[in-house]
Amino acid sequence: MVVISQISIWIIPLFIMLVLLTATWKKVPSYEMFVEGGKEGVKMAFSLLPFLVGMIVAIAIFRSSGALDALIGLIAPVLNFFGVPPEVVPLALVKPISGSAALGITTELIATYGPDSFIGRLASTMQGSTDTTLYILTVYFGAVGIRKMGYALKVGLLADLFGILAAIVIVTLVFG
Amino acid sequence: MVNLIWAFMAIIGIVFAMFNGTMEDVNKAVFESANEAVTLSIGLISVLVFWLGIMRIAEEAGILKILARLFRPIVVRLFPEIPKDHPAIGYILSNITANIFGLGNAATPMGIKAMEQMKKLSGSNEASRSMITFLAINTSSLTLIPTTIIAVRMQYDSASPTEIVGATILATIISTLSAIMIDRLFYYRSMWRK
């Protein structure tokens, strides 16, 4: 498990080095390309803003009223049985439906419990390890006019469930 | 669906506050959290700009193409219905490599092209076996470095914002493998029924 934390620290600097070395070797104008790509990052951050404001405010209302605690108290016994922390349940429910909404929930969890808490780490890992099934289904099937989806939705949602369970097991093993 | 969940969280919260005497907290939370969300989004700019910049260099330097070559033998096996040299395989490879690097904007058009090619192959408006396999892989996420999450963790003063990268990669591999296996399982089940 120490290996996994070490990989986490090394992978990004090593990747940056590899990219820059290859680019220089192939005579790619790296700085100019960097600036080109970076402009997209500015756009992306601003397009995320309304998603985050909407979701974070709704969760803040739900939490500050005491409704969230009441809900957690209700379902906690069942989830404890499976080893699932009840705090991440809203995230698990929203994740297959909307990626930006899920990011709002993850952010709220990190803000409330701290990024280095168990909940914070689990939410971070869950956010990264599955994608938005319904969005992908809608976009890809919609774009080419597929009417009958077959078993696609079932496969996608089941895979999400496995991804979430995997995240819980791995975070428990790695960070305890 | 997300509209319902979103609206109901706020509605239930406000109704709950009426009976629970927490209206003052709710009132405060609305404005404080909106403010916090804006501060956060602006804070995300730093990491997103840097990472998308680096990714653009990687794309331009042909690193994605090298990876696509590496994955080719695996992908050909995952899609037995598609002939080896069919353009669909090429688009699927570009989609997967773009996803691995977190280039969602580049991955989606490639994915749609791959779908068009697969539809040509099947010639009906019913989802084919290859299409569902392709969707299963895409919905399980392939991203290696969860950039946005790292940025959020930085904003909230994590002692080690990137410490979750290893765990995320492991979870991603497991979720992708299980997506492929679930897809196979459902395919054989549908064959058996026929």
Distance separating alpha carbons of residues A176 and A73, to the nearest angstrom: 23
CA distance B75 to chain A (A): 19
B146–chain A Cβ distance below 8 A for any pair: yes
CA distance A69 to chain B (A): 11
In chain B, which among 73-112 make CB contacts under 8 A with chain A? 105, 108, 111-112
B71–chain A Cβ distance below 8 A for any pair: no
DSSP SS3 for A148: strand
> Are the C-beta atoms of B156 and A111 separated by less than 8 Å?
yes
Global ipTM: 0.80
pTM across the whole model: 0.81
A34–chain B Cβ distance below 8 A for any pair: yes
- Cβ contact (<8 Å) for B119 and A35? no
A130-149 as b/e, with b when 16 or more CB fall inside 10 Å?
bbbbbbbbeebbebbebeeb
What are the pLDDT tens digits along chain B (194 aa)? Answer: 668 878 988 999 999 999 999 999 999 999 999 998 898 888 888 888 888 888 889 888 988 788 788 889 999 999 999 998 888 998 899 899 888 877 776 788 888 889 989 999 988 888 899 999 999 999 888 888 888 899 899 999 999 888 898 899 999 999 999 999 999 999 999 888 87
- Cβ contact (<8 Å) for B141 and A129? yes
> Are the C-beta atoms of B115 and B128 separated by less than 8 Å?
no
A72–chain B Cβ distance below 8 A for any pair: no
